Amino acid sequence: MSNSVIIINGPNLNMLGNREPEVYGNETLEDVEKKCLAWAKELGLEIKFRQSNSEGEIVGWIQKSSSSFAVIIINAGAYTHTSIAIHDALKCCGLPVLEVHLSNVFQRESFRHVSYISNLAKGVICGFGSQGYEFALRAAAKLL
């Protein structure tokens, strides 16, 4: 548990590979998961990699996370910009949170400049594509 990290991906990230490749690239979420497993192995971390399109399911995973994980890495997709429920769950769980976005949200529409997660997060990584998950895993390894 002390080296376990949960990586939570939010809505529409299951569509990576097909979804706006000019923004998100050509890799699928499965490709990103495989890369994360390899990075985690190198860093001596255990990971659980999850995706859901449902806000409630994500809240449920966060609520249960403190009993099994030491760090949360989250790309909450569009819920980043809307979800007080995910904000409250992250606040309540007490684990360090690392926020990741594939795209540089600050170069995009102004509604993506607001995050309900950033003020709770240890750090925010955006704009590096799937490599952002590597940076977050390295940050998690440093924290543990």
φ and ψ at 32, to 5 degrees?
Answer: -65, -40
d(CA 28, CA 93): 29
**String of DSSP letters for 68-91:** T-SEEEEE-GGGGGT-HHHHHHHH
Residue of minimal Cβ distance to ligand DQA: 77
The residue annotated as part of the active site, out of 79, 101, 116, 133, is 101
Rule CB under 6 A: is residue 12 a binding residue for ligand DQA?
Answer: yes
One-letter amino acid for residue 69 of the chain: F
Nearest CA to 51 out of 31, 67, 66, 69 is that of: 31
Nearest 10 degrees: Cα torsion 61, 114, 136, 78: 50
Give the shortest CB-64-to-ligand DQA separation in angstroms. 22
The catalytically annotated residue of 24, 79, 116, 133 is: 24
x/- binding map, residues 22-61, to ligand DQA, per CB under 6 A? ----------------------------------------
Count of residues that interact with ligand DQA, criterion CB under 6 A: 10
Binding mask 89-118 for ligand DQA (x = CB under 6 A): ------------xxx-x------x------
Binding region for ligand DQA (CB under 6 A): 12, 75, 77-78, 80, 101-103, 105, 112
